[in-house]
């Protein structure tokens, strides 16, 4: 696990002298070593966090013996030993980096088809003057780039790009991404909050040359969907169990201490159980609990840990511990990011780092095996009776309490083509498209274009389509960045076994009835888990990993409303409709509209971002 940055320049917009400070900006991603490479066209800087092969021979940038090729790389390719044996590759190190490097030299971009892992790669051919930027299939590892039609730079995090003087002095706000943030809580799947700074799409690569850039996809969830589904329970269970076992075994390869995040839920418990089964020593597991949180699940994690016999570490954190991290959210994520569960994710990462450098997490299970309530909403909204009566039902429900209002907001849709994003937005208590048009100043409103009904090889149910939307948007652009930034803040690598692409491809073609069976969500995944851990440990509601943000904005964090949503600053930043913000704050402070807390939080983040980054 590492971080890197660099540039490809025809016009000397970027300086080699800047590479040291660029690397320093992402030092937490790789505190063990910094390496730099440059020639007349390209500059590369790499920060290394040593996980596999701790020797200096595996440091980067890695150069070929003849000096023609150079590579920087972030992530892990777990099947590197298999590739080495199958292709009989002679090696000087025991690192996966060398295998990735040599296969790219021999096979070019086709080599990526053989990789099973999470990775972001920059590979440069000094003779042809061509560079490849490659991102893993699911987009577990981040990779950003700057492109204004002439100048090109790239990095593992936006903050590194902003260390380049040319980019920093020319930065501006991307208002399409701002609209996406208000609707989804993150900035879409391509752009960022900054004009001309983009995300390399998951499962894609960019070829950079003197002729410009060319973006190509090599893998897509949409293309993985087959005409027929896997229907037989017994064979499906056997396949899934084998895939999870293989995935976890791959991800236990490490030359540093490791463990798992254990919440006590289905996904993290399965990953932990399989990991412990494959070890002869006690696995380290980590959980945090909030002393003031009524939804504390630490007792369930403790029960699972006791059953499996792990070396369990549990820390109870206070409200103050969490509040102290609030100011660092923008610095950690580099742009507005509304998911407040980043705070507990940072806290559990900080805890884990005291004993480990690599962690396995259970991310992905909900999207792959339908673990969210949103999928029930998707089915409801397809019923003819709901289609006919959704407006009066919405009006009626919005007269009730906060939970009732939330359901009423889901029913208050205007365009059936946008239902997947609407359901997600309102389930998360974010702004609807209509509300964005009111809350923003009119000249900043932009259309939001999302792929909500993709063309695939079979007809998907409403629930399946909603899950596919979550997989390609929420998982990739919220959950995975949340874990990556929160963990790398403390130089901790996190691996995600359930997002092995073989499991993703399997889940995409699993019959929906094996995902939701009656009232049981994630049915097949549960059945696999119950082969390792007794089912009675999981008979309880699903709460999720959260902080009581609504309560805090009414109490300890109320000063943020006063500081950032006051009339003077609203006028100064020029983003929001002052009258509408005042109305929103009044409704929230009344105490009868608690569901508005995430909207308040979003505006605070944008106001703080503009004030810190543009109005200093």
SS3 at position 2: strand
| Cis peptide upstream of residue 61 (ω within 30 degrees of 0) | yes
Judge contact between 480 and 364, C-beta under 8 A: no
HEC string of 122-138 equals: EEEECCCCEEEEEECCC
The vertex-161 CA angle with 159 and 164, nearest 5°, equals 115
Q: From the candidates 2, 49, 304, 342, give the one annotated as an active-site residue.
A: 2
Tell me the CB-side half-sphere exposure of residue 392, using CA atoms within 13 A.
4
Beta strands in 236-360 (DSSP E): 258-261, 284-290, 311-317, 358-360
Stated length of the chain: 616
Q: Which alpha helices (H) appear in 356-461, and where do they start and end?
A: 365-369, 374-380, 384-397, 402-411, 419-427, 433-439
CA dist., res. 127 & res. 105, Å (int): 12
Would you tell me the crossing angle of helices 96-107 and 80-87 to the nearest 10 degrees?
50
CA dist., res. 199 & res. 214, Å (int): 14
CA dist., res. 432 & res. 517, Å (int): 31
Within 8 A by CB and 6+ apart from 585, the residues are 561, 565, 600
Residue 554, Cα to own-chain centre: how many angstroms?
A: 29
Q: Which residue in this structure is represented by tokens 């002729």?
A: 211
CA dist., res. 115 & res. 79, Å (int): 7
**Among 544, 527, 603, residue whose Cα is nearest residue 235:** 527
**Among 452, 402, 396, residue whose Cα is nearest residue 424:** 452
CA dist., res. 71 & res. 64, Å (int): 9
**Among 463, 503, 259, 459, residue whose Cα is nearest residue 373:** 463
Give phi and psi for 69, each to the nearest 5: -115, 150
CA dist., res. 24 & res. 14, Å (int): 16
Dihedral sign from CA coordinates of 92, 97, 101, 104 = positive
Is residue 429 annotated as a catalytic residue, yes or no?
no
Dihedral sign from CA coordinates of 213, 336, 475, 414 = negative
Q: Which residues form the catalytic set?
A: 2
């Amino acid at each position: 696990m590492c971080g890197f940055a660099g540039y490809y320049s025809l016009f000397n917009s970027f300086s080699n002298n800047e590479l040291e400070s660029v690397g320093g900006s992402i030092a937490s991603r790789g505190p063990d070593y910094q390496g730099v490479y440059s020639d007349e066209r390209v500059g590369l800087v790499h920060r290394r966090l040593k996980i596999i092969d701790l020797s200096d021979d595996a440091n980067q940038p890695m150069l070929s013996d003849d000096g023609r090729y150079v590579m920087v790389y972030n992530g892990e390719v777990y099947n590197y030993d298999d590739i080495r044996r199958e292709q009989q590759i002679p090696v000087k190190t025991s690192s996966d980096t060398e295998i990735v490097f040599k296969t790219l030299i021999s096979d070019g971009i086709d080599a990526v088809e053989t990789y099973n892992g999470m990775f972001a790669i920059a590979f440069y051919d000094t003779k042809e003057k061509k560079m490849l930027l490659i991102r893993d299939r699911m987009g577990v590892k981040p990779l950003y780039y700057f492109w204004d039609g002439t100048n090109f730079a790239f990095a593992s995090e936006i903050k590194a790009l902003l260390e380049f003087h040319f980019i920093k002095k020319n930065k501006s706000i991307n208002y399409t991404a701002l609209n996406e943030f208000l609707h989804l809580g993150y900035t879409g799947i391509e752009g960022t909050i900054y004009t001309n700074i983009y995300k390399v799409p998951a499962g894609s690569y960019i070829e950079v040359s003197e002729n410009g850039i060319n973006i190509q996809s090599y893998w897509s969830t949409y293309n993985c969907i087959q005409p027929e589904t896997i229907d037989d329970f017994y064979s499906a269970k056997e396949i899934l169990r084998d895939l999870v076992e293989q995935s976890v075994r791959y991800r236990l390869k490490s030359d540093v201490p490791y463990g798992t995040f254990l919440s006590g839920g289905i996904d993290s418990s399965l990953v932990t159980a399989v990991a412990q089964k494959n070890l002869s020593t006690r696995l380290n597991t980590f959980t945090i609990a909030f002393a003031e949180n009524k939804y504390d699940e630490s007792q369930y994690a403790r029960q699972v840990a006791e059953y499996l016999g792990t070396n369990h570490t549990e820390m109870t954190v206070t409200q103050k511990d969490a509040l102290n991290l609030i100011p660092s959210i923008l610095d950690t994520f580099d742009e507005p990011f509304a998911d407040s569960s980043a705070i507990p994710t940072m806290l559990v990462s900080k805890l884990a780092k005291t004993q480990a450098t690599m962690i396995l997490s259970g991310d992905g299970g909900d999207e792959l095996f339908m673990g969210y309530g949103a999928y029930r909403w998707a089915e409801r909204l397809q019923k003819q009776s709901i289609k006919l009566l959704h407006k009066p039902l919405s009006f009626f429900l919005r007269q009730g309490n906060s939970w009732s209002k939330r359901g009423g907001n889901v029913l208050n849709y205007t365009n059936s083509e946008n239902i997947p994003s609407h359901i997600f937005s309102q389930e998360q208590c974010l702004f609807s498209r209509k509300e964005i048009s009111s809350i923003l100043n009119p000249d900043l409103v932009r259309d939001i274009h999302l792929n909500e009904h993709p063309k695939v090889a079979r007809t998907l149910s409403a629930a399946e389509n909603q899950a596919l939307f979550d997989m390609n948007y929420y998982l990739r652009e919220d959950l995975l960045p949340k874990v990556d930034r929160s963990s790398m803040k403390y130089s901790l690598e996190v691996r995600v076994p359930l997002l092995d692409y073989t499991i993703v491809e399997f889940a995409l073609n699993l019959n929906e009835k094996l995902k939701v069976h009656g009232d049981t969500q994630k049915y097949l995944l549960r059945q696999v888990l119950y082969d390792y851990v007794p089912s009675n440990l999981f008979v309880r509601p699903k709460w999720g990993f959260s902080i009581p943000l609504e309560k805090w904005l009414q109490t300890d964090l109320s000063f943020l409303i006063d500081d950032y949503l006051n009339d003077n600053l609203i006028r100064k930043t020029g983003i929001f409709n002052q009258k509408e913000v005042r109305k929103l704050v009044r409704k929230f402070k009344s105490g009868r509209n608690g569901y508005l807390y995430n909207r308040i939080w979003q505006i605070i983040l944008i106001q703080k971002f503009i004030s810190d980054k543009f109005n200093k």
